[in-house]
Amino acid sequence: MPVVTRVTDLIGRTPLFELATTATGTRLLLKLEQFNPTGAAKIRMAREMVLDAERRGLLSSGGHIIESTSGNTGLGLAVVAAERGYRFTAVVDHHACKDKLRAMRAMGAELVFVADEGDDNLATSAREDLAESMAAAQADAYFTEQHNNDANAVGYYAVADELLEDVDRVDILLSAVGTGGSLFGTATRLRQLGCPPHVIGVEPVGSIAFGGPGGPYWQSGTGTPPGATIGTAVDYSLLDEGVKVSDVAAFATARAVAAKLGLMLGGSAGGSVYAGLTRLEEFPAGSTVVTIVCDGGEKYLDTVFDDDWMSDRDLLDGDTEREVLGLLDRYSPARRKQLVEAR
């Protein structure tokens, strides 16, 4: 690693972790994006959106960036704004994880809330409306508008480049869909590189991008709540399957993986991993399945990893945690290696 002078120079080259392997050699690999600065994938697209705005003359020196964020995009933009001398305002709600909000403030971001303290509903639509009107009212302001910004997906092209440096091919790309940037940006670039994957999007039960009834959900950063508009970053032309995972299954998976392996996954990654583990044997023998882990579990110590918070919301489910522990055991890459060596 070279010695660097900017935090954004530390973006990327995140590790791949083999979580599970079947007897037929199908592997579930996790791209651990929590190893980026801010502990999340979104700093990749935050940087790209700002660079793109600069190139297009939409942001001038000392200008003002405004974005509606559930937290991780805001963290990324806070870093980029601090480095490049911009003012940054994050339009947020109280559904966002408190530590993400505190960290944004620490890095100089101004926070504007769309709801009162105590109202922890996800308010994507209200956030976006306010961010748009704030930007329209100020001459030097630029609304990065992550849901409809092409630079969002482009920010993830490097994920595909890095994947193909580490493995020969990606047969199945299976990941959470919020704005869609990470899944569809990575899929687009894999196609460009001659390795088109089967693309499986994962959203929480209650999210509306893949149809079905809308409703509340607790998985943070992912999904499209009822009433919100699905942006252009969700590229349905690249989507082979859209699946839904409940909060209970997503959080049980994050908890089981932490307890069994000491690997802390965020709730949205828990959802993707649950979808991957429960379907692993359905995939063609020898497949390489990749999940982009958007962030780590350390951000959710007060929620997903807090028994009281979980049981107050009826989200604790020992049976599902045991189901996931059983799958991790059955597909343990270390155990599989021992079995092969013993033969």
Ligand X SMILES: Cc1ncc(COP(=O)(O)O)c(C=O)c1O
Residues making contact with ligand X (CB under 6 A)? 40, 42, 70, 72-73, 176-183, 220-222, 266, 268, 294-295
Least CB distance from residue 46 to ligand X, whole Å?
10
Q: Which of 31, 42, 100, 299 is catalytic?
A: 42
- The three-class DSSP label of residue 91 is strand
What the block records as the tokens of 96 is 């966002």
For ligand X, which is the closer residue by CB, 8 or 21?
8
Closest approach of ligand X to the CB of residue 69, in Å: 7
Q: Which is nearer to ligand X, 126 or 330 (CB)?
A: 126
- Nearest residue (CB) to ligand X, 36 versus 332: 36
**Measured from the CB atom, is 63 or 181 closer to ligand X?**
181
C-alpha to C-alpha distances, 268 to 59, 177, 245, 281, 297, nearest whole angstrom? 32, 9, 9, 22, 10
- Residue 63 or 265: the one with the smaller Cβ distance to ligand X is 265
CB 288 to ligand X: min, Å: 21
Chain residue at closest Cβ approach to ligand X:
221
Nearest distance, CB of residue 27 and ligand X, angstroms? 22
Residue 154 CA to residue 182 CA, distance in Å, equals 9
What sign results for the dihedral spanned by CA atoms 321, 326, 329, 330? negative
- For residue 54, what are the contacts with CB-CB under 8 A and spacing of at least 6? none
Q: Where does residue 343 rank: exposed (0-12), middle (13-18), buried (19+ CB within 10 A)? A: exposed
Give whichever of 248 and 331 is closer to ligand X, judged by the CB atom. Answer: 248
The DSSP symbol for 36 reads S
CB of 221 to ligand X, least distance (A): 2
Residues 6+ apart with CB under 8 A from 235: 153, 180, 184, 187, 188
Q: Which residues of 324-338 are buried (b: 16+ CB within 10 A; e: fewer)?
A: bbebbebbbeeebee
- 244 tagged catalytic: no
For residue 204, the minimal CB distance to ligand X (Å) is 10
Neighbours of 181 (CB within 10 A): 30
Alpha-carbon gap, residue 259 to 284, rounded angstroms? 29
Of 135 and 183, which has the nearer Cβ to ligand X?
183
The residue whose two tokens read 């032309």 is: 237
**CA nearest to 227, candidates 128, 89, 120, 132:** 128
- Nearest-approach distance from CB 182 to ligand X, in angstroms: 3
**Interatomic CA distance for residues 67 and 77, integer angstroms:** 8
Distance CA 304, CA 307 (A): 8
Q: How many Å apart are CA 124 and CA 112, to the nearest integer?
A: 13
Positions marked catalytic:
42
